[in-house]
Structure 1
Amino acid sequence: MAATVTPIVDDQVYKLPLKVLVIKEKKQVLFAEAGKDFVDILFSFLTFPLGTLSKLMAVESNLQEPVRLGSISSLDESVTHLEEEHFRTQNCKEMLLNPRNSLASYCQKMKLNIDDATEPIKYFICENWECSRKVSGSLLSINFRNERCTCGKLLNREIFRENVTLEDGFVKETARFIICDDLHITPNVFGASVQVFQKLGITDMQDIEERTMHISKKEVVNLLKFSLISETPMTDFIFKKEQPLDKFSPQLQFDIAQVPSDEGKQMLVKIQIRKSNGKIVFAEAEEDFADFIFSFLTFPLGGVLHMLKGFSSLSCIDKLYKSISDLNAERYLRSQEVKDKLANPRCAFHFNVSNQMLPIEADCLPVYYCYSVRNYVKDRWVYSGTLVTSPKAITRGSEMDAPLNIVDPRSPTGESSSTEGFAKGPSIYMVTDDLVVTPMSTVFAISYLNRLGVPLFDVEERVITIGLKECLGILKASLTSASALTNGLKHLMKSIKREN
């Protein structure tokens, strides 16, 4: 299934007002003054999976050219073009192209929600109702109606969850904030605004002008793009900058902080290095390495920041992320639990890889029950059901069925949890420097070298060991660089160069 980039449709009924102070002559934003609605939008960016960000960067914009998210964009595109036969199930491709947001319930009530993946979840049980009421517990498919029951029939009967609770965003209703040009968020107190003036050396208040903007969904997407590519996203957003994107070059820093010694899982990977410049042309590895690369698409941005200790080389996103730790949860956020979730958002359940080398967690698998009601209609009993998250007392004409077994869409046999990932094995995969993943093919590899203009005598093969440090390096480089392997494995490349 090919990924489709859904155009953002502006809400003609509601546009969010935003008050900003600007320096008229310089056309520069000092700061914005905002409440819950706008700050919830900014914090929601951290909950988006990288695959979602890649697609939002590609939707229609007032920028002059398409915006790409490092190597994540080419990884996402390669999944689009990869045949379903290379995935463990036909649902694996769909999951990678449309990863779910584990904090979707916090985003659905936002007035300008730009993430289509936060739409309500759908639930399906066996089309045979009697099969769905087995004592041992029936199967439940979440969002996929093409799974099969143990009886052989499809899980395509939709049931609805009772009393779905949508969270009211992340910050408190009465909280007020100052958002600096670099997306640092601080409580709206006079001292904070004075610090901004002093930092910029502003003494003449005649140069300052107050403006009120009215922001639509499409403009939120533009703000997201600028937050990922610019060091002054509020200025570029408010003044609708249409400058060449080479202006927006993130400061690339790929050094990874101290990590524990590699005592855990490791992978052996063959890399083809161009001897003349030391760059990695492509890597060859088994399906575990392909799964490691695929899983980037499912990582929430905030979870990536947590793994990288808040230093992603996306400077404004780093400042936005740091704002969470600086804010007092009791006064400004809805709870300490909300703060903890924003500081380390997890993958949605079933979207994690069980043998993942990176320290990212996934949501726990929920427990659901089907609360069935029996009615006598046209000389026969007809059953209907509602999904609940806890047992309820049996009332007249209703029955509480056994807990449902949730089907992992990556499992070919309908298991509730899969011990493997997305890529089908045993197989060898080829991963290019910008993270394009394809099944290994010598013919394709030769054609790829020809397209790059790399002669065979300039290529050298090495076998390297990938551990935690290397995995973090590739992940960090993938956010800002089209050479994720070369930059992410920089320290290994230096040692190889010294050997040569």
Structure 2
Amino acid sequence: MATTNTKTMSMKLLVDTKAQRVLLAEASKDVVDFLFSLLALPLGAAVKLLRKDPSMFGSVGDIYASFETLDAAYVAPGASKDALLAPSPAVGAGASSILGLPEPAVFFFECQHECRGKDGNYLTDMPGVKCPGCGKEMQAKSRFVTTPAQQRKFFKPRPWLCDDRMVTDVSGVPCPCRYACGQKMEDQCQYVPHPQPQAVVPGVGFVQGIVRYTVTDSLAVAPMSSSVALLSTFAALDLSAIQEKTVQLGHAEGLEILRASLQSRTVLTDVFLGKEEPRDTA
């Protein structure tokens, strides 16, 4: 798996140097987006990333190895081994950029009845949304060619010239279909907003960047404005032993955070301070 060109972020740690543990971390929106994106990481992708540790996933590692080595003659027609062995995250924010994973495929759906509004064909990103034109469910799946634009204007090739459905956000892009039709994608589609709240908006992430966030050693996250009470739990500590430490969070650290989050309650200490002698937690 490629690890080049992955994103690097910084995080400020509040460290108890006597106990050699992280008390709190001050984190930006990007760091928090990464932590929350771990919830959307498919199990197959996590096993692939961490499989060098045979004890990490118990018997799931054997399931992964079994399918990986299964001869193609035994794989069902049309089934993709990569769909299980190297799946993309359910959402692209955070995990893809840090862990070097492929961005998830983006699909849109059209009305199969070719209904047209004043701005062109209707288009949505959720199958089953009701078509504003005829009221029927929009189920015709189209693969998205480029990254979505903020303006939400989309274009496709003329359906009577190409039946391999493609969608783009730049008018005039050559159609990359399997038929190599070469026509420009200029037939505008009208975007139909998703009627339900989404966990993440492409290119936006999970949380807002209007505040900084605190992250505990066990990866509990809260807006810094609501974390003052948390600091009171450290009131009895020797303040002379408290130091700030700025650390970098890149591909290697992201992998270690993923690994430690499945095994430990002291993730930031384990990853950024190194594993020390067992501490008295009583």
Shift of 1:100: 3.0
Which of 235, 248, 256 in structure 2 is aligned with 1:214? 248
Equivalent residue runs for 1:308-327 within 5 Å: none
Contact 1:8-1:217 at 8 Å conserved across structures: yes
CA distance in 2, matches of 1:71, 1:22: 37
Contact 2:8-2:250 at 8 Å conserved across structures: yes
Structure (1 or 2) with the larger CA radius of gyration: 1
Contact 1:181-1:233 at 8 Å conserved across structures: yes
CA distance in 2, matches of 1:181, 1:167: 28
Contact 1:178-1:193 at 8 Å conserved across structures: no
Give the alignment's Cα RMSD to 1 decimal: 3.8
Contact 1:124-1:156 at 8 Å conserved across structures: no
Count of residue pairs the alignment pairs up:
209
Q: 1:82 to 1:191 in 2, by over 3 A?
A: same
The residue that corresponds to 2:178 in the other structure is 155
Equivalent residue runs for 1:252-271 within 5 Å: none
Equivalent residue runs for 1:216-231 within 5 Å: 216-231=250-265
CA distance in 1, matches of 2:45, 2:272: 24
Structure 1: where are the runs of 5+ without partners? 1-5, 60-64, 126-131, 143-153, 248-500
The residue that corresponds to 2:32 in the other structure is 39
Contact 1:20-1:212 at 8 Å conserved across structures: yes
What TM-score comes out, normalization by structure 1 length?
Answer: 0.36
Shift of 1:180: 0.6
Equivalent residue runs for 1:23-422 within 5 Å: 23-58=16-51, 68-104=56-92, 106-107=93-94, 112-118=97-103, 135=160, 138-140=163-165, 155=178, 157=180, 166-189=202-225, 191-197=228-234, 202-241=236-275
Contact 2:54-2:61 at 8 Å conserved across structures: no
Q: 1:83 to 1:27 in 2, by over 3 A?
A: same
CA distance in 2, matches of 1:102, 1:15: 21
Structure 2: where are the runs of 5+ without partners? 108-142, 146-156, 168-176, 190-200
CA distance in 2, matches of 1:69, 1:172: 33
Shift of 1:205: 1.2
CA distance in 2, matches of 1:242, 1:85: 49
What TM-score comes out, normalization by structure 2 length?
Answer: 0.61
Q: 1:15 to 1:85 in 2, by over 3 A?
A: same
Contact 2:100-2:251 at 8 Å conserved across structures: no
The residue that corresponds to 2:14 in the other structure is 21
Identity in percent = 27
Shift of 1:239: 1.1
CA distance in 2, matches of 1:180, 1:100: 28
Shift of 1:99: 2.0
Contact 1:9-1:218 at 8 Å conserved across structures: no
The residue that corresponds to 1:148 in the other structure is none
Contact 1:47-1:101 at 8 Å conserved across structures: yes
The residue that corresponds to 1:147 in the other structure is none
CA distance in 2, matches of 1:161, 1:87: 36
Q: Which amino acid aligns with 2:248?
A: H
CA distance in 2, matches of 1:232, 1:156: 54
Shift of 1:136: 11
